[in-house]
Amino acid sequence: MSNSFGSRYRFTIFGQSHAPAIGVTIEGLPSGFAPDMEALGAFLARRAPGQGAYSTTRKEADRPEFVAGLVDGHTCGAPVTAIIRNTNARSGDYESLRRVPRPGHADYTAFVKYGPGRDVAGGGQFSGRLTAPLCVAGGLALQLLAREGVSVRASILSIGGQTEPEAIRTALDRAKADGDSVGGVIQCQCTGVAAGLGEPMFGGMENRIAQAVFAIPAVKGVEFGAGFAAAALRGSENNDPFYFDADGAVRTRGNNHGGILGGITSGMPIVFRAAFKPTPSIALEQDSVDLVSRENVKLSVGGRHDPCIVLRAVPCVEAAAAVAIYDALLESRC
């Protein structure tokens, strides 16, 4: 009802942070396609933890094992399933997590929805770890899109409100020193997308990309082209005039529309931004409730924390864009 995305490039993600495995099953890959496993590994490595000073030290290889759908390294038409084993053992002590939900996390809403049986270890199915299988589906889509001349590139626009590298570094250092965290904004640009992808109304490219991007934990906003800034412009400023380019293609001067008009791609680059809230895991003491004793309590979350997940979220945004675009591309052929 929820772990699946897409209509023609359709995949289902499964797993929890401390289950034996996480993974994904993908339908819609063309038969005879040989995924570049090295490129996929490099893509996955970009979101892997334990890479720098600002990410958690949990180290997992995150090497997907393809248990179905490949023959001699080539797709055969059957659904492709990749699993990634969780090597971090489930520790025995989650009693406090079970009783006291962490502010900003899904602990409380998971309790309401799934009851006492919910998986609390490491955030369970709400863990950011589930973006690894998203990146498997997205990484393969990126390879297929590259064959069509489509390139998807995300980058950090701001962290903690800062846009300059030096200021970002300072913001990160301070947050880390304070046992606190910061959020940020990631921008994604997709070039080479043919005009005519997407469907009207609920099937528009904005609808699809938003549906995919909001699946990344901590995303609280998505905007296309000029986005929220367009709301303060006049039509004469915001409208992107059409013209015939030297190669005979119709293009627009400016790209306030972010490559999408009426939900359909215009042939201009798709440009969108995603707002990430600061990671809710912080070392500082916070107020919360004890769901068992039904008292207000103080919560201190031990362990080391990632002061900013935005760094690792960049490939996830690319993956989300890629699956939405590739799905629409396949649909456009029907």
Taking a C-beta distance cutoff of 8 angstroms, is the pair 308, 184 a contact? Answer: yes
Minimum CB distance to a second copy smaller for 38 or for 287: 287
Minimum CB distance to a second copy smaller for 44 or for 288: 288
Taking a C-beta distance cutoff of 8 angstroms, is the pair 119, 60 a contact? Answer: no
Residue 63, phi-psi category: left (phi > 0), alpha (psi -120 to 50), beta (remainder): beta
Task: Look up residue 65 and give its two tokens.
Answer: 């094992």
Interacting residues of 273 by C-beta distance below 8 A, sequence separation 6+:
157, 185, 186, 187, 188, 221, 222, 223, 227
CA distances from 41 to 27, 62, 237, 272, 315 (A): 20, 8, 43, 26, 12
Identify residue 118 by its one-letter amino acid code. R
| Nearest distance from C-beta of residue 59 to a second copy, angstroms | 21
Interacting residues of 177 by C-beta distance below 8 A, sequence separation 6+:
none
| Nearest distance from C-beta of residue 207 to a second copy, angstroms | 4
Closest CA to 236 of 250, 223, 258, 253: 253
Minimum CB distance to a second copy smaller for 80 or for 135: 80
| Nearest distance from C-beta of residue 35 to a second copy, angstroms | 13
Minimum CB distance to a second copy smaller for 146 or for 289: 289
Minimum CB distance to a second copy smaller for 42 or for 254: 254
| Nearest distance from C-beta of residue 177 to a second copy, angstroms | 12
| Nearest distance from C-beta of residue 50 to a second copy, angstroms | 20
Minimum CB distance to a second copy smaller for 41 or for 104: 104
| Nearest distance from C-beta of residue 165 to a second copy, angstroms | 17
| Nearest distance from C-beta of residue 168 to a second copy, angstroms | 12
| Nearest distance from C-beta of residue 150 to a second copy, angstroms | 16
**107: burial class by Cβ within 10 Å (0-12, 13-18, 19+)?**
buried
Identify residue 101 by its one-letter amino acid code. P
Q: What sign does the dihedral 314-317-321-327 (CA atoms) show?
A: positive
Taking a C-beta distance cutoff of 8 angstroms, is the pair 193, 259 a contact? Answer: yes
Minimum CB distance to a second copy smaller for 42 or for 90: 90
| Nearest distance from C-beta of residue 308 to a second copy, angstroms | 9
d(C-alpha 298, C-alpha 103), whole Å? 11
User: Is residue 236 within a helix (H) or strand (E), and if so which, with residue range?
Assistant: helix 235-238
Minimum CB distance to a second copy smaller for 91 or for 236: 236
By residue count, the chain amounts to 334
Minimum CB distance to a second copy smaller for 10 or for 46: 10
